[in-house]
Amino acid sequence: MATTTLKPEIEMSDKKPASTKYVYFFGGGKADGNGKMKDELGGKGAGLAEMTNAGLPVPPGFTIQTEACREYMRTNGVSSDVDRQMEEALARLEQLQGQKLGKGENPLLVSVRSGAKFSMPGMMDTILNLGLNDQSVEALAKRSNNPRFAYDSYRRLIQMFGSVVLEISKAAFEEVFDAKKEQKRAKLDTDLDAKALKEVIAEYKKVVKKKTKRDFPQDPHDQLVMARDAVFRSWNNERAKHYRRINNISDDLGTAVNVQAMVYGNLGETSGTGVGFTRNPATGTKEFYGEFLMNAQGEDVVAGIRTPVHILELEKIMPSVYNQLREITTRLERHYRDMQDFEFTIQDGKLYMLQTRNGKRTGLAAVRVAIQMVEEGLITKEEAIFRVEPNQLYDFLVPRLDEKDIRPADVLTSKGLPASPGAAVGQIVFTADDAVRRAGHETTKSPVILVRSETTPEDIHGMEVAKGILTSRGGMTSHAAVVTRGMGKCCVAGAGEIEVDEKAREMRVKGQVFKEGDWISVDGTTGRVIKGKKNTIDPKPDDPELLKLMSWAEPFRKLRVRANADIPRDAIQARAFGAEGIGLCRTEHMFFAEKRLPHMRAMIMAHDEKERRAALKKLLPMQRSDFIGVFKAMNGFPVTIRTLDPPLHEFLPRREDLMVEIAVLEAMKPKSPKLKRLKTLLRRVEELHELNPMLGHRGCRLGITYPEITEMQARAIFEAAVAVAKDGIKVYPEVMIPLTATVKEMANQAAIVRRVADEVFKEKDAKVDYLVGTMIELPRAALVADEIAKESEFFSFGTNDLTQTTFGFSRDDVNKILPTYIAEGILKHDPFAVLDREGVGQLVRMATERGRSTRSDLKVGICGEHGGEPSSVEFCHQIGLNYVSCSPFRVLTARLAAAQAAASDKLKVEGGRTK
């Protein structure tokens, strides 16, 4: 459930008490706010306040709190209180600095920075050097005795203000800038001199005039108000909305605005700017980690325009600044008791801190850092459990490249940055849209590698569907690196030897040209890019540090975690990941195998029960041997086997294909005996054809109309169970009847299962314990769960079908509707991915209560896709289910999510997944 700090609508802005504090000042050694006030000040503002209070060198400024943003969203403006308090804070800042915004011989310049409660990279670009205009730029040039610096700052302002506030495309400015560099034969931005930059400014102003029909605003106050409002508006831009959706952040929070006195990293060779981490965010190793650039400003380091320098080099260039930075960041880490991600600027040899926050990291690093910090006495074991997002555990399960498959000649570069670990193999695409087109949202479509010179927040939808990301520019803290690490996705960044031509949709390296659709393999653990489709090796989930963290978490867990596995191989895999049984074994998957399909088809084509039984008899030994394998793998753990569920036509050829084949034969070989066979087949296919197969002849309806199918399956299950038990292996079969809506359906099928069980036990003179239960997938079943429980010894919620039948959404076609529903805010999440607590969840809760009112020891679990999704797992814990069942690769995630849910109950820690 969304936590919201939004005040009720009725509290109209004009009735707001005059005392609302909208603006929080920081500077001169103390701040109005503090680090705990992230709701009001946003993460960045809270960090600036906290650092100021700690006496760290932070340029002074003020934060306009999130309430002003929420007001702006409601009313399309801000109240006069906000304007007044902002003017007061500005006056205070001017006084503290002894400067005036954009005026006088020593003009005050500020940055305008967005900053929400949760960091949202790329929501809005920061505007630097605000306050510059045609006059103040001259004053700055004179005062700094550095005209180049002044004009560089002014051109940056026009560029940033132009794109962020005036919404002119960045390319319009880049064109001008690149043309000037070419004209002056300048290789680097820094090679342009004052005169050239002045020319750039004149042309930038023309761009502004042409695109907006107005001049670049010269009044510093106008600039400030416009920039502030642009930050508020940026909360609702598409990138921000998308980021919030995939990260579960409430749309109601709003952003704060930070206005801060500028310090200049572009003053010359004793100035610079950089970013860093107190530990390695990719591996978790305890080392000072980061990058910087001398004579640079703002985002130069992460933008990949120049190649940044490793932070350890700073020790050689400016040892005292380096030591001070280490000392400050170590203090910050101890203070926040977490790995810090910090930003700094050096102005003329003096260090300033511009930001600190808990750093994003890979799952590998999250586990390592948590364990180190417990060992260092910084955090407790209980806290460590919450330092890892359950989804991040994928990192321990990510594949690596098979070295034997790699010939040195295939290695296109080994000098890329290992930005996010794991290996990815796929076809090249050059734009985010192409990635979505080729990869779609389903894993079944073609795997793609998104190749860009560098990524921007606009690429996020493509990054989401790509198997891996490759960029030719940008460092370990570039957008691509940071975002993929958060996603647990493989990324090689800054592979400088690769030339990416997005326009021509080409990648050139080592004299070879690669086009869209060509296969490459990327290794985010080492930074290599390899030609072709290489083999990958499955990882080992038995990392000792992972096991240690799990051993701290697991004692809290109440919910059992099972896996969905249909064949012995998957069952073995699931056990390795710690599954405590199988929650769903789909028998039909066994029938699709090549050797079995003919028998399955013969069964379906049978004219009468006798023929059908004959075909089933052939299937029996195959089913039995599968079950033997699965039971052996699950030695001692329960195995839930579902009787046949899908509509029978799924096992037959497609009607359209048959019709085409028949038409061709009729024309070419009308005498062929095959033609007759096909016609019979077509007749059966047409008999079985249904308009709504998902609501049709499937589930228990099959077993009721053809009881011999259930009989055969029950026989295979019990014969296998008895055989395995005789070998001394413990077996607990749970036979599950799908898609029941009434207790009579359940009684009908349960009677068959029990009768066959008795027969087998008698024949074999042996017995095993077993249960018969049902899958709850229809709202009616949930409503009459107390009745159904009379015949059912367990419930397993099939939340995929239950979501489908509750919403009336076809889960195979919902993607036509879903994007609009999510964009319009009608649904917050895809209900097939995240369990809909209010609707479907209510049915689950209610059916569990009703079922247990009949049978107090009713075993209840879920086996839909939701069983491996952390927020859904949390919900299952809260309503007291016995287990969740998910795909083998999500077992670890589910285990940690279940442990966190239980630990947060016990420790009263905020463990909710929804931010």
- The residue from 42, 45, 102, 298 that contacts ligand ADP (CB under 6 A) is 298
Closest distance of CB 264 from ligand ADP, Å: 7
Encode 697-755 in three state secondary structure: CCCHHHHHHCHHHHHHHHHHHHHHHHHHHHCCCCCEEEEEECCCCCHHHHHHHHHHHHH
| Closest to 885 in 3D by CA, of 642, 610, 600, 627 | 642
Beta strands in 472-592 (DSSP E): 490-493, 499-501, 506-509, 512-515, 519-523, 528-531, 536-537, 560-564, 582-586
Cβ neighbors of 551 (< 8 A, separation 6 or more) are none
Sign of CA dihedral 27, 31, 36, 37: negative
The size of the interface with ligand ADP (CB under 6 A), counted in residues, is 16
- The residue from 354, 563, 604, 752 that contacts ligand ADP (CB under 6 A) is 354
355 touches Mg ion (CB under 5 A): yes
Give which of Mg ion, ligand ADP, none residue 389 binds (C-beta under 5 to 8 Å, depending on kind). Answer: none
55-74 residues in contact with ligand ADP (CB under 6 A) are 59
Q: How far is CA 195 from the centre of its chain?
A: 47
- The residue from 153, 271, 340, 355 that contacts ligand ADP (CB under 6 A) is 355
893 touches ligand ADP (CB under 6 A): no
> Is the CB of 110 or the CB of 834 nearer to ligand ADP?
110
> Is the CB of 24 or the CB of 591 nearer to ligand ADP?
24
- The residue from 97, 99, 133, 260 that contacts ligand ADP (CB under 6 A) is 260
Closest distance of CB 250 from ligand ADP, Å: 19
Reply yes or no on whether 479 is catalytic.
Answer: yes
Strand partners, 737: 774
Contact track, ligand ADP, 577-596, x by CB under 6 A: --------------------
Judged by CB under 5 A, the stretch of 541-549, 763-771, 790-798, 828-836 that binds Mg ion is 790-798
Give which of ligand ADP, Mg ion, none residue 801 binds (C-beta under 5 to 8 Å, depending on kind). Answer: Mg ion
The size of the interface with Mg ion (CB under 5 A), counted in residues, is 5
Closest distance of CB 454 from ligand ADP, Å: 15
- The residue from 140, 226, 262, 373 that contacts ligand ADP (CB under 6 A) is 262
- The residue from 389, 580, 801, 836 that contacts Mg ion (CB under 5 A) is 801
Give which of ligand ADP, Mg ion, none residue 536 binds (C-beta under 5 to 8 Å, depending on kind). Answer: none
Measure the CA angle with vertex 223, ends 221 and 227; round to 5°: 120
Cβ pair 152, 77 in contact under 8 A: no
Q: What are residue 357's phi and psi, to 5 degrees?
A: -160, 165
Cβ pair 289, 311 in contact under 8 A: yes
| Closest to 563 in 3D by CA, of 634, 464, 485, 642 | 634
Q: Which two tokens stand for residue 883?
A: 């287990």
> Is the CB of 203 or the CB of 801 nearer to Mg ion?
801
Q: What are residue 893's phi and psi, to 5 degrees?
A: -60, -45
- The residue from 86, 158, 165, 263 that contacts ligand ADP (CB under 6 A) is 263
- DSSP reduced 3-state for 256: strand
DSSP secondary structure string for all residues of 347-389: ETTEEEEEEEEEPP--HHHHHHHHHHHHHTTSS-HHHHHTTS-
Judged by CB under 6 A, the stretch of 254-262, 367-375, 415-423, 645-653 that binds ligand ADP is 254-262
- The residue from 153, 324, 345, 472 that contacts ligand ADP (CB under 6 A) is 345
698-737 residues in contact with Mg ion (CB under 5 A) are none
Judged by CB under 5 A, the stretch of 292-300, 352-360, 677-685, 846-854 that binds Mg ion is 352-360
| Closest to 522 in 3D by CA, of 404, 412, 625 | 412
**Tokens 């909208």 map to which residue?**
22
52 touches ligand ADP (CB under 6 A): no
Contact track, ligand ADP, 265-284, x by CB under 6 A: --------x-----------
Give which of ligand ADP, Mg ion, none residue 345 binds (C-beta under 5 to 8 Å, depending on kind). Answer: ligand ADP
> Is the CB of 449 or the CB of 876 nearer to Mg ion?
876
The amino acid at residue 408 is P
Cβ pair 428, 448 in contact under 8 A: yes
Q: How far is CA 590 from the centre of its chain?
A: 32
Sign of CA dihedral 774, 780, 782, 783: negative
Give which of Mg ion, ligand ADP, none residue 434 binds (C-beta under 5 to 8 Å, depending on kind). Answer: none
Q: How far is CA 398 from the centre of its chain?
A: 15
- The residue from 152, 343, 626, 801 that contacts ligand ADP (CB under 6 A) is 343
The amino acid at residue 603 is M
Give which of Mg ion, ligand ADP, none residue 298 binds (C-beta under 5 to 8 Å, depending on kind). Answer: ligand ADP
Active-site choice (479, 599, 649, 877): 479
Closest distance of CB 220 from Mg ion, Å: 23
> Is the CB of 43 or the CB of 870 nearer to Mg ion?
43
> Is the CB of 367 or the CB of 641 nearer to Mg ion?
641
**Tokens 């820094």 map to which residue?**
190
Give which of ligand ADP, Mg ion, none residue 798 binds (C-beta under 5 to 8 Å, depending on kind). Answer: Mg ion
Closest distance of CB 914 from ligand ADP, Å: 23
> Is the CB of 355 or the CB of 805 nearer to ligand ADP?
355
Which letter, b or e, does each residue of 607-636 get, where b requires 16 or more Cβ atoms within 10 Å of its Cβ? eeeeebbebbeebbebbbebbbbbbbbbee
100-129 residues in contact with ligand ADP (CB under 6 A) are 111, 113, 126, 128
> Is the CB of 255 or the CB of 623 nearer to ligand ADP?
255
Percent helix, strand, coil in the chain, to 5, is: 50, 15, 35
DSSP state letter for 469 = E
Tell me the C-alpha distance between 839 and 807, whole Å: 9
Judged by CB under 6 A, the stretch of 255-263, 672-680, 869-877, 890-898 that binds ligand ADP is 255-263
Give which of ligand ADP, Mg ion, none residue 341 binds (C-beta under 5 to 8 Å, depending on kind). Answer: none
| Closest to 644 in 3D by CA, of 582, 581, 595, 711 | 711
Tell me the C-alpha distance between 801 and 819, whole Å: 20
Judged by CB under 5 A, the stretch of 32-40, 331-339, 793-801, 892-900 that binds Mg ion is 793-801
Tell me the C-alpha distance between 489 and 467, whole Å: 7
132-191 residues in contact with Mg ion (CB under 5 A) are none
> Is the CB of 359 or the CB of 421 nearer to ligand ADP?
359
Closest distance of CB 360 from ligand ADP, Å: 12
Active-site choice (863, 866, 876, 877): 863
Sign of CA dihedral 546, 551, 553, 559: positive
> Is the CB of 306 or the CB of 632 nearer to ligand ADP?
306
- The residue from 47, 265, 462, 798 that contacts Mg ion (CB under 5 A) is 798
Give which of Mg ion, ligand ADP, none residue 291 binds (C-beta under 5 to 8 Å, depending on kind). Answer: none
Cβ pair 77, 13 in contact under 8 A: no
Q: In the chain, how long is the greatest CA-to-CA distance?
A: 103
Give which of ligand ADP, Mg ion, none residue 799 binds (C-beta under 5 to 8 Å, depending on kind). Answer: none
Reply yes or no on whether 876 is catalytic.
Answer: no
Tell me the C-alpha distance between 775 and 781, whole Å: 9
- DSSP reduced 3-state for 248: coil
Q: Which residues are catalytic?
A: 479, 863
The residues binding Mg ion (CB under 5 A) are 343, 355, 777, 798, 801
The residues binding ligand ADP (CB under 6 A) are 59, 111, 113, 126, 128, 260-263, 273, 298-299, 343, 345, 354-355
